[in-house]
Amino acid sequence: MATVKLENVTKRFGDLIALDNISIAVEDREFFVLLGQTGAGKTTTLRCIAGLDKPEEGNVYIDNICVNDRTPADRDVAFVFQSHILYPHLTVYENMAFPLHPRKLPPEEIHRRVLDIAKMLHIEHLLMRKPNQLSGGETQRVGLGRAMVRRPQVFLMDEPISNLDAKLRAEMRAEIRWRQRDLGTTTFYVTHDQVEAMSMADRIAVLEEGKIQQLDTPTVIYNHPANLFVAGFIGSPSMNCIPCEITHKNGSLQLILPKGSNEKRSYTIEDNSISATLKDINTETGLVFGIHPEDVFVDHRVVPNSFPAEVYSVEPLGAETIVEITLGPDAAGTQTIMKSVTVPNFEAKIGDTLHISFVPERIHFFNEVTGQTILS
């Protein structure tokens, strides 16, 4: 298989900088996910690796060989597009077998590969159909299968299962990941779905406006976001990020939520490592408090080191219940909402008063101006 490296790659389209000096090194057999919103530069990154776009600056390496001047055909990569175009006059079987014929494989090997991938993608019953007899989701699976039968050095997958229904999408995540491990093919996978990224990736690069905001394992990115953008993008629901103040009272640090509100809530910071980090920070510096919803505790009873707040909404989801708490209006008059993920049978009604506390060691702080993490 192959390693892939992007070294200081910049790609422009007129005045638009699609990729801004990005560097990525992907190991052999790694499943690497590019995660970001529409327009972040994810697809452009794949196109530069495939040779469909040429960067103005920087180099692309496959197996430590610079491929900047190689054609797409000479790079031995398979590109799975978001929208698949099949040959309309060929059956599904013939479409999937098509890229194997130039390799002059024996017919029995072609047949075996097509059937193997068709079964994995649950499309073996479609093999004799023509493309105009397929649904959108079926077409997408056939396009995915046509790329997978090739066994290239590198898979480049651009949101390949985005058009599938939720149940099949969950199945396909597991199937693609299993097949990638089985084949050992180095894979770049593009998605805007952070659940897909977290569940499939060995490592993730979070992109925003052509820049890498953080590159690490899913666990590290979730537990230690590098900045407010990453914190607000990762997680479902994503991290609560609320402007706050820090004050000193009776020798303890007090977290005041929300900043600028007349209805301020006070919480004593009990974790020594957090207190040590914050004690030397200029309290005039704008801070943003961050906490994952599962680290927010809500209780009908008064509990130690908690503050009261009103229920804004309740979402029973079966496996869990999401309770939204209002902390009152901020300085601009907008309601400040905090989410808590609770047990399935937690009961609360809009307007109830609950007592809010946090997992002390799971508190995060960010610089309000730069967005960079101060404590994560």
Give residue-wise pLDDT tens across range 190-216.
999 998 999 999 999 999 999 999 999
Is the pLDDT assigned to residue 285 strictly greater than 80? Answer: no
Measured CA to CA, the distance from residue 8 to residue 255 in angstroms comes to 41
Give the residue-averaged pLDDT of 15-33. Answer: 96
- How far is residue 22 from each of residues 19, 55, 281, measured CA to CA in Å? 7, 11, 32
Is the pLDDT assigned to residue 357 strictly greater than 90? Answer: yes
> CB-based contacts of 163: which residues, under 8 Å, 6+ apart?
82, 136, 137, 140
Instruction: Give CATH superfamily name and number for 4-233.
Output: P-loop containing nucleotide triphosphate hydrolases (3.40.50.300)
Q: Token pair of 29, please?
A: 């057999």
pLDDT tens digit sequence for 81-120? 877 778 999 999 999 999 898 888 899 999 999 999 998 8
Nearest one of 364, 360, 131 to 228, comparing CA atoms: 364
- The full set of domain ranges for the chain reads 4-233, 240-375
Q: Which string of DSSP letters, residue by residue, matches 5-59? A: EEEEEEEEETTEEEEEEEEEEE-TT-EEEEEE-TTSSHHHHHHHHHTSS--SEEE
Structure confidence at residue 121 as a pLDDT band (50, 70, 90): confident
Q: Is the domain defined by 240-375 classed in CATH 3.40.190.290?
A: no
Q: What is the pLDDT of residue 278?
A: 75
pLDDT tens digit sequence for 212-267? 999 999 999 999 999 999 999 998 899 999 999 888 877 788 888 887 666 778 99
Measured CA to CA, the distance from residue 105 to residue 91 in angstroms comes to 19
Q: What is the pLDDT of residue 166?
A: 81
Nearest one of 249, 279, 285, 278 to 264, comparing CA atoms: 249
Measured CA to CA, the distance from residue 293 to residue 369 in angstroms comes to 23
Q: What integer best gives the mean pLDDT of the chain?
A: 90
- How far is residue 207 from each of residues 177, 191, 365, measured CA to CA in Å? 22, 11, 21
Measured CA to CA, the distance from residue 113 to residue 45 in angstroms comes to 29
Structure confidence at residue 170 as a pLDDT band (50, 70, 90): confident
Measured CA to CA, the distance from residue 105 to residue 82 in angstroms comes to 28
